Structure 1
């Protein structure tokens, strides 16, 4: 028999009754019923119940060891009594009567319980992540992630894509976030950058003629954490295709996402085909470029109704209205609570009116609307008796953010929210450029390597802020999974696009020389996208935080509490890398204070020693 096991803990069934077996695993749980021990033994594959008779060496050994101790047991499979069968456990028809036991790995007292899964702070969980990953939910999430990645590979290969690796050590690239830099030992004062994305390399692969590339690519960005973003590193399904237009990319990704979410979504329906929503329409209707289409309500721009109005709160401002049908019976508390929610999003308040049976309005601001305004408003929002209308007023972006959140919250509170589905959409027609509010300069609004709609002619003849790009996002249930684009593969177009964003020709050649050279040697039209694997798994696992789908994530402060990263480097290593550390003033101040405190303590200790020495001197 094998040294550690003949079967796994999740393998045994009724057909194995009267079989002698050897199992190894973790002591998951223990119950003592009249001297008979019942133990749940757990491994990666499942759980099996052990029964240990009294007055045996095995009983003595297993009654005293702590939970999560690793043991090897020998025993015989026996059938459970009919009343003791556990239908929720694959091994629930049998148990193993233990004859012998060996402790393979003792466990110290646990910092938190693995079973039951009691609540514990995230910092503690990350510090002892190896224990946290033993818990059923986390183990299931990580195995789901593994299965999803395996399925992605199969589905991409089936569509004719080749998995190719791109470099990790590379040059810096303007992807919109800070790079993680790696100092070069051989080239003093120079740095590699960890890739924010394999953007340039995957385009070079298309120019090299590989046609269809994909990779489960690690990406590194020095940015702050969010619920749907892990600081440091993340993984994406990186895709690039040659001789394609936007719809060709959509066709590939829609097929993969539909199959993936139907396979792993636990019966939740995937709506298909995915609608295409222009960026500006998304901002107006949903207040967001990553709309949650499960909310079956839309916003309306009603600024023109209040233009020049005597209602000063709305006059000469951007005003968005949200009509919520069938709210005639809602109590005042409903309106107050929705107003409180809007305040949490940054609103100063949430104005509202309600349409009565006679098409007259009631509510706090009804008195400010004349008969003509009321008619226009009801027509604009397609309101009916029993419909409540909520308003947000101010700057476009601010109103969009607030009313976009109110739209989803109101839908959830009033039954206009569709549960149990994955609603995808494509956001298309993004502006190529935007104006920096602080500097007033024209900047790229999205990926700088995108092809502008209209090509070189559009760049030369249009207002930059009116130029749209062949850029697109894929969104599911209000979560942006990825951005993508048809790429700019023409040198003249690239020079002009970067010139409008304030880059001179020399700067472009210095920053992107490798790709520019390649463009001069026959570059095919190409495009791609890179859906985030972490976010895909987060949606499938129905987890609110992306860290619940990653085996060893950093915490919100970009620290690895288990391994102690980031860590300091000794002076010898710094000299080898031609580096010196310059800490910010507050750190220096704290260190100076700490040194002063240490010095003061040392002085006090010295004085105490001298005083003691004086006291111990013999009298003269």
Structure 2
């Protein structure tokens, strides 16, 4: 080894020892007769001291060191006179006797500091430099520890880690696939897996009753803060179980992660029906760190000749506690917020419950004091509260009000990243109608089992059929989802038929799975957690890019290696692909 110890290991107990450290020059300070160098590796920082009285040549060499030079430094551990108790090595320094420059470095394009002057684009281009910074490196360490904790927990529960194929078959359901041309089979293509779904079900047929994999998945979809074209799942499946077994085992996993990684005793995770989540929060992934549940007002506000309410399918609002003093400017900001194109609201009605007890609304022309008292009663308001109301088509207005609720939660400081609230959302709809294709699609995937008591409604009311499906939500982010699977051919064929597959299409796409069901498939179910999302929540970050070593940008590009890129004509010819240019 070129080093005898690391830059974060030495303490006052090592006084008098001769050591060799290797690392990068963090900064240097030339004080004339003495030069101080901070040497850094991933374990920490240690101060080196060079004295002109001891060795002039060595001190001159130290003065020529630049930021990010890679060096080997040898010397004796001595006690620091000006201690820095903010770092573990702050009571000691190294009195230098030897210096070796292992590699010189250009001046980096941004400061390698906790608070850097590099913007996102620059840091992405030089990601290998960004990874030297403590906050980014700590995210990678957190990710590593979480992965190890996952493996320990699942191994103790008798799960077996099995690797599934990366080159698979493209399927028409779900997001768009990344496809890979096959040189040996011209005109045919592999797809990169959006998940190992069918393979883990086949493992259940194979008798591997408890499977998991921390696995890379791929989706060719539009990107945002919590999406990447390639991402990582904690993928799991179990046989001979019911929904309750899945919820108990994987709630245990999440609570174990919080305990081991964050030192937090997460309470028992409450459960909520999908229908209640949509009714009370307008979202299937509600942020339950704060209240502000929806209150429906149709019975209270209609019939007063106010067309906005009378013509609306749903009138619904929230009580923003303590916000009655909002100024006209603040109210205008909220109205502008819900009118943004991505939200699509048309207007906002409000009522103030003033500190003197009086009630004042933005539609006093239509509603007298007696009417407003009914509003106050419905929202259980107190002096100082502000009621915010929206009206429109049921599903749209709930989604719009959800965005307003989250905005108010942010403004009121109710969405603290150091507070964690988990929730199971259960019994999702099995199918959802797609206007563009004019047919039903599986809300989760086509292998999700319907509730047994709802199967008869597949022919009469398919949109009302509930799925044996469940999501785990933390702080308003879906971090995991799964379902009890269909495990017999007849029901799976029925499901494909209701999804618009002909018998021939179903056999071509998924015949291998339906054939397997005829050889004794056990009842089974599973779940997959978004590992990147989970890590970002634990790290208190808004974007999953910050917990991925080499992420893509919002255009799906790796600007560091300049990918995706064109390939040369010889490769195109081998793959039997004609140029698009």
Normalised by the length of structure 1, the TM-score is 0.89
- The equivalent residue for 1:263 is 260
Superposed displacement of residue 104, structure 1: 0.6
Matches within 5 A, 1:4-403: 4-54=2-52, 56-81=56-81, 84-115=82-113, 117-230=115-228, 232-265=229-262, 270=266, 272-317=267-312, 318-344=314-340, 345-355=343-353, 361-370=359-368, 373-403=371-401
3-state SS in 2 of match to 1:5? coil
- The equivalent residue for 1:602 is none
Distance 1:467 1:93, change over 3 A: same
Superposed displacement of residue 538, structure 1: 0.3
Aligned equivalents of 1:472, 1:174: Cα separation in 2:
23
- The equivalent residue for 1:477 is 475
Q: Deviations along 1:80-138, whole A, 9 cap, x unmatched?
A: 12xx1111111111100111111111101211111363232222111111101001110
Aligned equivalents of 2:409, 2:111: Cα separation in 1:
38
- The equivalent residue for 1:610 is none
Superposed displacement of residue 563, structure 1: 1.6
CA contact (8 A) 2:214 2:232 kept: yes
Q: Deviations along 1:516-551, whole A, 9 cap, x unmatched?
A: 111111111111111111001101111111101100
Aligned equivalents of 1:549, 1:277: Cα separation in 2:
30
Q: Deviations along 1:262-285, whole A, 9 cap, x unmatched?
A: 3223x5563x22121111211121
Question: Of 481, 488, 491, which aligns to 2:489?
Answer: 491
Aligned equivalents of 2:284, 2:114: Cα separation in 1:
41
CA contact (8 A) 2:3 2:20 kept: yes
Superposed displacement of residue 458, structure 1: 2.4
Aligned equivalents of 1:108, 1:386: Cα separation in 2:
59
Distance 1:240 1:376, change over 3 A: same
Q: How many residue pairs get matched?
A: 576
Q: Deviations along 1:230-268, whole A, 9 cap, x unmatched?
A: 2x2100100100111111111111111112123223x55
Aligned equivalents of 2:271, 2:221: Cα separation in 1:
30
Q: Deviations along 1:283-318, whole A, 9 cap, x unmatched?
A: 121121111111221012223434454111222212
Q: Does 1:407 align with 2:402?
A: no
Aligned equivalents of 2:72, 2:355: Cα separation in 1:
75
Larger radius of gyration: 1
CA contact (8 A) 1:296 1:418 kept: no
Aligned equivalents of 1:413, 1:125: Cα separation in 2:
30
Distance 1:370 1:334, change over 3 A: same
Matches within 5 A, 1:496-535: 496-535=494-533
- The equivalent residue for 1:555 is 553
Aligned equivalents of 2:307, 2:144: Cα separation in 1:
57
Aligned equivalents of 1:415, 1:546: Cα separation in 2:
22
CA contact (8 A) 1:294 1:419 kept: no
Aligned equivalents of 1:192, 1:456: Cα separation in 2:
37
- The equivalent residue for 1:604 is none
Aligned equivalents of 1:175, 1:238: Cα separation in 2:
19
CA contact (8 A) 2:417 2:540 kept: no
Aligned equivalents of 1:296, 1:417: Cα separation in 2:
11
Matches within 5 A, 1:515-594: 515-583=513-581
Aligned equivalents of 1:367, 1:373: Cα separation in 2:
11
3-state SS in 1 of match to 2:230? strand
| Structure 1 gaps, min length 5 | 584-620
3-state SS in 2 of match to 1:225? coil
CA contact (8 A) 1:27 1:67 kept: yes
**Runs (4+) off by over 6 Å:** none
CA contact (8 A) 2:289 2:415 kept: yes
Aligned equivalents of 2:299, 2:398: Cα separation in 1:
17
Superposed displacement of residue 415, structure 1: 6.0
Aligned equivalents of 2:431, 2:236: Cα separation in 1:
24
| Structure 2 gaps, min length 5 | none
CA contact (8 A) 1:351 1:392 kept: yes
Aligned equivalents of 1:498, 1:358: Cα separation in 2:
62
Aligned equivalents of 2:88, 2:61: Cα separation in 1:
27
